[in-house]
Amino acid sequence: MNNIHIPQRIKSAVLRASSGFAAIDNRAFETMAGDGFKILLQEIFDAGRVLNTSSINVDALIPHPTTFCIVVDQWTEKYTGKKTDLFIVRLFFISWYLFSLDQLGLSYCGISIHYTDRDFRLLNFILRCYPYDAESHSAQHLRTFVDQKLNEYKLRLDSLKYVVTDNEAEILSAFRENCTRIECSDHYIDRQLKHAFQSQQIHVSKTVIENVNCDDIQGLFSTIKNIVSSVRHSHKQQSLPKKLQSYSGTRFNGVLYMLDAFRKLFNELPPVLINSKLIDAYQEIDKQTLDDCNFIKPIFIKQILGTNDKDRSFLSSLFISALSFVAHRIKVAWFITREHRLVTILHPNFKKFESCADEKQAASSSHVSIKCASSAWKGLLAQCFDQQQNGLISSAHRYQEIDDNLNRDFYFQEDMGQDEDIHIVDFWRKQQNSFPTLPLIARKILPIPASNTIVERHFSSSKLSVGECRTNLGSEKLNQLMFLQKTLVLLKQLRQVNKSPTKRSISDTVSMMSGYSSEIIVKKKAREDNINSSNNENRNIDLC
């Protein structure tokens, strides 16, 4: 199919039509690259092949917009039951997030579920983004609301289930019992970065105040922030080769990308600021110092926080103070649990505790139980390891297994860059013959997400469905659209499985789609049946 030659005139016609679609309907260019748009084009192409009419009026083919709501309702009802069948599992973990739409005056509760199957496949699903209709935002009402929504999928929270949330007071109280709450690492690190770039002092307790001592980096940040804000609001960035980036107050790590974008465009800014009062502030910025922003990215911070100050000699003193502050806050303010230590032992790169030797003894004395399951470090992925041929023999004693793992050397399978990571769940799947117990612990601990931003980011994408021009879209309809956005393709694939599939076949299908590749190849057979059912199209809609 991919080898069929398409005439250049047809490609040019499609290009012109796509450009016209973006211009006339005011749509983003990326719309044409979306999976849903490709599926739509494939369906229209197949319909054109079936119809023998030389001229087709597209108005007769395109359904009325009100018909879309009918299909969304039917899809939601159909596939919600499909997801219930997938969640017949004993051990699962959820991430939870509460957010609001100011223009609609609505609050939404997003819930995602994470677990591993018997084959060590990590599966992530977003259940729904429910309209929050409880009486208040009190801890009791929050917990009751979440329990009711989980019960729809026959899921219950108990002492073996973990919940990943942020650290607001009502949320801390809501998930204090019948579950184990894990702090969202993204929100925590964002808060420490915000202190480093904006705060003068931190109230460690009611009587203790700690000075931040990052005045230099805060001054540079304030200057760059003012320049970026001025250029963006004056629309002068249209003359720049790339646009300057801003950041969200709820995701402060976006500051790192704002600084990096400013660094790359530094030499292009004088013509834009020539008649501005900010030109003097711009000229006071040292370009060499600003070049250090190239290193301030999340992946670099993970590496730099564990090193000594002498290893940071290539950085400016401005950034050394900020990184040292964040590293200090992580050590003194982040509560380290037994699950954090177990995950460190399970990680091939960090099992020797080089960056936190004081935690090694605590980790060794931690009670190892197959029933325990937690980690705030799922995002730390290992490079591709392979075991040595003369490896150790499997140990029959659980505690001896830990010592064997700590003393065992792993080597890189091939020369790879430091950013070439794989999933450590797969790493432990390959170690089942050498370590009978540790892979079971890994299977139960590693699925816990490092943060709850998967739900937050999913909700942020809904701005294309709900905006200032679409405030009449019902809250339940938005809930259905967000549910289908992340699960429709996957659940359609499950529908193609045999009517009585084995658990293995379902698992294989879910594993194939859990990565959710952005490139979907849709293959459709030419429909041989005649299309004469237009009178009943609203009642008998093909959900495939």
User: pLDDT (tens digit, 9 = 90+) per residue, 16-69?
Assistant: 888 888 888 777 788 788 888 888 888 888 887 777 766 777 777 788 777 777
| C-alpha to C-alpha distance for 492 and 510, rounded to whole angstroms | 11
Instruction: Between 311 and 439, name the one with better pLDDT.
Output: 439
Give rounded-to-5 percent helix, strand, coil for the chain. Answer: 50, 10, 40
Identify the residue with better confidence: 518 or 410.
410
At 187-230, the pLDDT tens digits run: 888 888 888 888 999 888 778 888 898 888 889 899 999 999 99
- Rounded Cα distance between 271 and 9, Å, is 42
In the predicted model, is pLDDT for residue 532 greater than 50? no
Q: Which residues pair with 342 in a beta bridge?
A: none
| Mean pLDDT, residues 469-493 | 64
Read off the pLDDT of residues 147-187 as tens digits, 9 standing for 90 and up.
Answer: 988 888 888 898 888 888 887 788 888 898 898 888 888 88
Residues 66-119 have pLDDT tens digits of: 777 777 777 767 666 555 555 555 566 677 667 665 555 667 787 888 888 888
Structure tokens at 411: 């080597």
Q: Which pLDDT value is given to residue 226?
A: 92
**Non-local CB neighbours of 32 within 8 Å, separated by 6+ positions:** 18, 21, 22
Q: Is 454 within 8 Å of 486 (Cβ atoms)?
A: no
Token pair for 527 = 């429909």
Distance CA 225, CA 237 (A): 14
Q: What are the structure tokens assigned to 7, written together? A: 């005439």
Higher-pLDDT residue of 489, 404: 404
Distances (CA, A) of 280 to 225, 235, 287, 425: 15, 20, 14, 53
Q: What is the rounded CA–CA span in Å between residue 201 and residue 195?
A: 8
Contact 217, 325 (CB under 8 A): no
pLDDT for residue 463:
58
Domains and CATH numbers, the chain: 8-65 (1.10.10), 67-184+451-514 (3.30.420), 190-333 (no CATH), 338-445 (no CATH)
pLDDT at 496: 60
Distance CA 544, CA 537 (A): 14
Report d(CA 453, CA 165) in Å as an integer: 9
- The angle that helices 215-233 and 317-333 make with each other, rounded to 10 degrees, is 110
348 closest CA partner among 426, 451, 433, 444:
426
pLDDT at 420 over 60: no
Please list, in sequence order, all residues whose beta carbon lies within 8 angstroms of the beta carbon of residue 154, skipping any fewer than 6 positions away: 84, 87, 88
- pLDDT tier, 500 (very low <50, low <70, confident <90, very high otherwise): very low
C-beta of residue 272 within 8 angstroms of C-beta of residue 240: yes
Q: How confident is the model at residue 529 (pLDDT cuts 50, 70, 90)?
A: very low
Query: pLDDT over 90 for what percent of the chain?
Result: 2
Residue-wise pLDDT for 124-135, tens only, equals: 777 777 778 888
